[in-house]
Chain A
Amino acid sequence: MSTRLATGGRFLDRARPVSFDFNGKRLRGLAGDTIASALLANDQMLVGRSFKYHRPRGVVASGAEEPNGLVNLGKGAKFEPNQRVTTTELFDGLQAASQNHWPSLEFDVGAVNARLSRFLPAGFYYKMFIHPRSFWKHIYEPFIRQSAGLGKAPKDRDTDTYEHFHAHVDVLVVGGGIAGLAAAMAAGQAGARVLLIEQTAHWGGRAGVDQPQIDGKPAQEWIDETVAALGQMPNVQMRLRMMGAGVYDHGYVLAYEKLTEHDPSLAGPRQRLWQVRTARVITCTGAIERPLSFAGNDIPGVMLASALRDYVVNYATSAGDRTVVVTNNDDAYRTAIALKAAGLVVPCIVDARPSPAGELIQTAREMGIRVEAGKGIAKVKGGKRVTGVAICAQAGEGAVLEEIACDAVAMSGGWSPVVHLWSHCGGKLVWDDEKVMFRPDAARGPTGADGALFVLPGGTANGALQTADVLSDAFAAGQAAAQATGHKAKGKAPAGSDPAEGPISPVWMMPQGAGISLREKMWLDYQNDVKVSDVQLAAREGYESVEHAKRYTTLGMATDQGKLSNINGLAVLSDALGAAIPNVGTTTFRPPYTPITLAAIAGVAKGDLFQPVRKTPMHNWHAEHGAEFEPVGQWHRPYAFVRKGETTHDAVAREVNNTRKAMGLLDASTLGKLIVKGPDAGRFLDMMYTNMMSNLAVGKCRYGLMCSENGFLMDDGVVARIDEDTWLCHTTTGGADRVHAHMEDWLQCEWWDWKVYVANVTEQFAQVAVVGPNARKLLEKLGGMDVSKETLPFMQWADGTIGGFDARVFRISFSGELSYEIAVPAGQGLAFWEALMAAGEEFGVMPYGTEALHIMRAEKGFIMIGDETDGTIIPQDLGLSWAISKKKEDFLGKRAQERSHMTDPNRWKLVGLETLDGSVLPDGAYAVASGHNGNGQRNTQGRVTSTYMSPTLGKGIAMGLVLNGPDRMGEVIEFPKLDGTAVQARIVDQVFFDKAGEKQNV
């Protein structure tokens, strides 16, 4: 049974007991525990069920590599699935529940899959569920999906907060083991700006458990001194609970800091996502121990040897009373020694090597531990818990030599350096035959913006296993990184020493000649239930590439990303293919190193801060006066001002009618305003616009069209000539930034010798359109400048004051009414608006929104960018040829408009459309033509681009693009509706209201 030992536990604070909940049971732990250590201390070996077969699962590891110990953590807004028990620190009141079982962890109906496992080998679903076709959607897939997933889906909205942080350093050291500490020391001493991060809550890594000698002292002493010394260096920053999540190109590293989740009493954000820019990254990420593949290696109680040791030393927790150790290397003997030293029983060390003989073996033997050399495990006995092992000769087929009763098995298949961060940006690996591992290939590392290697591995992560090598390697990496960033290396590497170790021997299967029934019980990927036999099946079926084998079997695709299984799996694959391991290669390492929350990625950008809202100076007034806002780009514009008791539709109709009969105010501040100035400004605008702008007289306005170089209409607006070399260009609301960038692009990159400056002054001004028959009366009442027809005729502008406000007044109209657009400094926008509203009361003033604006322009047959245009329309399609200068040799889009498809007489052209019954044509509807095309699609001859119920005319009006439309006035065409019926509409002139323009030219 697993239990808490009476003494010891480096991380524990025995004075601070905590209580927590597991599957509704109240359990006790100690401050300093992880959930895993606390569960083990409570003899809770069973922690979950596997994905496919629902096999019982116990903790196997003690860190980030854990595949099994995943729980649903917390409740309500704090609920989180798939939380790893080995990396979750315990706190008082923590609530955890195991996953993937029904009705309970102990009795899981899904476990029937394990009995059926013979029928569910790798890739079974590709071969099954094919017939009959209709069964897939209704029977097969629902069945498969039901068994999907591990943790439960959260239900509530997360109430925690998250943030980002940008840091810039010379050297980022990832991993706070002795290697990381040494590397940081080397870089720090040299004067580089260093950030050292460690994913756990403790510095020192494995050395804290194994306690080699460093600089002649016990490792712990050296660790404490070094941490203190680094803490004193102003150029070194150190942070715990911060994981190096991903290395990206050009020295960008994502790091994930857990701030409060280990202690609910802390305030502040839950997690912080660091975006680090660094010249060099040193990965001192250590190594991960590999499991061994023997039958029954997934039974709870079979654990990594290093993990058993960690639990005893760090958490004073034993996984069992009697632990059999099985290994192919010396390091596992440390576990036997540690267990024995803690007073636990180690009945036997089963060593696959024929004649192991290092110092550690000596020590173990001296302690009286039995060592069985050349042996392997034939089979682990037990169901939800190990009860014993059968041992056999490693060289044979698994004939049982002896059964040994035990309640835990410590396995070690050797160590794999953590090369993830090295590999994220393309770092390659080399296979080390002697150490039986992939380690970073210094000659083929990830290179940065300058073409130099920017990730440097250090210590165990670089394949060094002995402490002396670990320290010198990491220190050298630290110095190299400092030198690369312009610092002078100083100091010398700390000296480490630990017992000399004998060679490891590669063991990919135990016993070596295991038959198929044993291989079907050897797990590689515990979470996804991938076994040795599955990988062999993949190889047999031709899924020979390691990537095919991965995808076919799902090996390494679970939440642990194969940290334990990948190397074992590819060794099995290469064996099955008869190929060398390095020729088979690994799968691709991808960020993040361990999973990070989506919330941390989003950071503060949620709710109100999700995206910026652009507001006009009058925004709050609108909000207080019933505005329903519409997003236009990031702007919020009032769609309509809805009064009590009105529908939005009513409000729009009222706004239109009132504007046409009395007067309306439109907040037009969002329209883009670009000043274009310089001796070449006229020439430049002649290139930008299809019309001629250079000959516009000072004081006058002209409506202009702007096309992309590809010929399509991209923006429109009124251009005013301010003085001899200054023009003011208005753009659409969404267009200001785009058009500004477009102008700068051409000026800077094509006509850079032209003397023109452009400034975007959109936000300098609040702009109000005063529209309607009473518009002039209102302005005259406010007074200050002459706005009469004579002084300020249509399509002119003037500067002056109105009601005391500095104003620039444009006489332009997008509604067909008498209309002034008045710009005042934005800071006075609200006051100006309020002044207009107050003074306008006697003239029936009302604000109107974008929908009324749209309707009024449609009644007048004016086009709207984004309605009549969609990125495929040229001005010629819209009857705007009058706005395309024939005199100009060139303008942007002119050449494109000469292409054969652009001059095709069969292009659809803009017309007005009027339903025969006065109804509103459906928006976006197509007009059908007879017959079908070569693909069996109904032929069409036009489509609706804008359509409204006109409050002015009391009937539906529309515009649309129709084949030869302008030549077909009066003809009736048919628009099918979605319900199967159709609407008939007549082709008419697109100007529905005041064709003569009598209302605006007053």
Chain B
Amino acid sequence: MLTFTCPYCGVHADETELAPGGEAHLKRFGPGSEDEAFEDYLFKRENPKGMHFERWRHAYGCGKWFLAARCTTTLEVFGTYPAQTTEPPQEIKDKISGKRPGWTWRLFS
């Protein structure tokens, strides 16, 4: 039963107030893109055993989508941040590095 702090309204929300939204930082590929790129974007997932970046919506609250850095084996949350970004904030990356030196996720590390 996860909890996250919504970065928009500050509510420490219960999982039952949230809607999960899968992997974060997907880059959209539209018409004209390569088959492979499009397939990757729609289906291929990091699904890591360890550090992950994912989307949640504060569905029963302020209605905003936010992103979270969470470990899929310990369920530790390293931080949440607004969805209007293409990259996790440095502060969160640093926090992860402090505890999981050498981590990588897609292009981030």
Contact = CB atoms under 8 A, between A and B. Distances in A.
Interface of A: 248-252, 277, 447-451, 709-710, 741, 744-745, 748-750, 752, 889-890, 894-896, 898-899
Given A450-B77, A741-B57, A890-B30, A752 B42 contact: no
B9 interface: no
8 contacts: A277-B14, A449-B2, A449-B76, A744-B63, A745-B21, A748-B83, A748-B84, A890-B31
Contacts of B74: 447, 451
B43 to A, nearest CB: 9
A251 B75 CA distance: 12
Given A894-B31, A895-B30, A895-B38, A749 B75 contact: no
A250 B68 CA distance: 15
Contact of B28 (A251, A450, A744, A750): A750
Nearest to A449: B77
B33 A250 contact: no
Given A896-B38, A896-B42, A249 B64 contact: no
A250 B3 contact: yes
Contacts of B1: 248-250, 252
Nearest to A740: B63
A451 B30 contact: no
The 4 closest A-B pairs by CB, nearest first: A252-B1, A752-B84, A451-B76, A748-B65
A710 B41 CA distance: 11
Contacts of B33: 895
Contacts of A750: 28
A889 B65 contact: no
Contacts of A745: 21, 57, 65
B45 to A, nearest CB: 14
B57 A250 contact: no
Given A750-B28, A894-B30, A896-B42, 12 more contacts: A248-B1, A277-B3, A709-B42, A748-B64, A748-B65, A749-B55, A749-B65, A752-B83, A894-B31, A895-B29, A895-B30, A898-B31
B49 interface: no
B91 interface: no
**Chain B interface size range:** 20 to 34
B99 interface: yes
A893 to B, nearest CB: 10
Contact of B83 (A249, A449, A749, A890): A749
A251 B3 CA distance: 9
B46 interface: no
Interface string B14-46: 110001010000001111110100100010000
A691 B15 CA distance: 37
A745 B66 CA distance: 10
- Max chain B C-beta neighbours (<10 A), residue from A251, A451, A710, A752: A451
A875 to B, nearest CB: 16
A44 B65 CA distance: 63
B31 A895 contact: yes
Contacts of B42: 709-710, 896
A890 B57 CA distance: 26
Contacts, number: 67
Nearest to B27: A750
A250 B18 CA distance: 15
Nearest to A425: B75
A252 B83 CA distance: 27
B62 to A, nearest CB: 11
Contacts of A890: 30-31
Contacts of A744: 57, 63, 65
B68 to A, nearest CB: 10
Contacts of B2: 249-250, 449
- Max chain B C-beta neighbours (<10 A), residue from A251, A741, A894: A741
A69 to B, nearest CB: 34
A710 B42 CA distance: 7
Contacts of A749: 55, 65, 83-84
Contacts of A709: 28, 42
Contact of A449 (B3, B28, B31, B55): B3
Nearest to A711: B42
A895 B1 CA distance: 37
A553 to B, nearest CB: 31
B35 A899 contact: yes
Contacts of B76: 447-451
Contacts of A450: 76-77
A450 B70 CA distance: 10
B61 to A, nearest CB: 13
A249 B2 CA distance: 6
Contacts of B38: 895-896, 899
A687 to B, nearest CB: 10
Contacts of B31: 889-890, 894-895, 898
Contacts of B15: 250
Nearest to A710: B42
Nearest to A447: B74
Contacts of B29: 895
A447 B71 CA distance: 12
Nearest to B21: A745
A405 B2 CA distance: 59
A749 B1 CA distance: 25
- Max chain B C-beta neighbours (<10 A), residue from A252, A450, A748: A748
B30 A449 contact: no
Contacts of A277: 3, 14
Contacts of A894: 30-31
Nearest to A900: B35
B31 to A, nearest CB: 5
Nearest to A899: B35
Contacts of A449: 2-4, 75-77
A744 B28 CA distance: 16
Interface string B50-64: 000001010100011
B21 to A, nearest CB: 7
Interface string B90-107: 000000000100000000
A748 B8 CA distance: 12
A248 B2 CA distance: 9
A744 B65 CA distance: 8
A526 B2 CA distance: 38
Nearest to B63: A744
Contacts of A896: 38, 42
A709 B35 CA distance: 14
Contacts of A451: 74, 76, 99
Nearest to A254: B1
A449 B75 CA distance: 6
Contacts of A447: 74, 76
- Max chain B C-beta neighbours (<10 A), residue from A248, A741, A895: A895
Interface in B78-95: 83-84
A397 to B, nearest CB: 49
A450 B2 CA distance: 11
Nearest to A275: B1
Given A745-B21, A749-B55, A749-B83, A250 B75 contact: yes
Contacts of B55: 749
A251 B14 CA distance: 11
Nearest to B59: A741
B36 to A, nearest CB: 12
A277 B42 CA distance: 36
A472 to B, nearest CB: 30
A449 B69 CA distance: 11
A164 to B, nearest CB: 11
A742 to B, nearest CB: 11
Contacts of B99: 451
Contacts of A889: 31
Contacts of B4: 449
A750 B86 CA distance: 10
Contacts of A895: 29-33, 38
A958 B99 CA distance: 63
Nearest to B83: A749
B19 to A, nearest CB: 8
A754 to B, nearest CB: 11
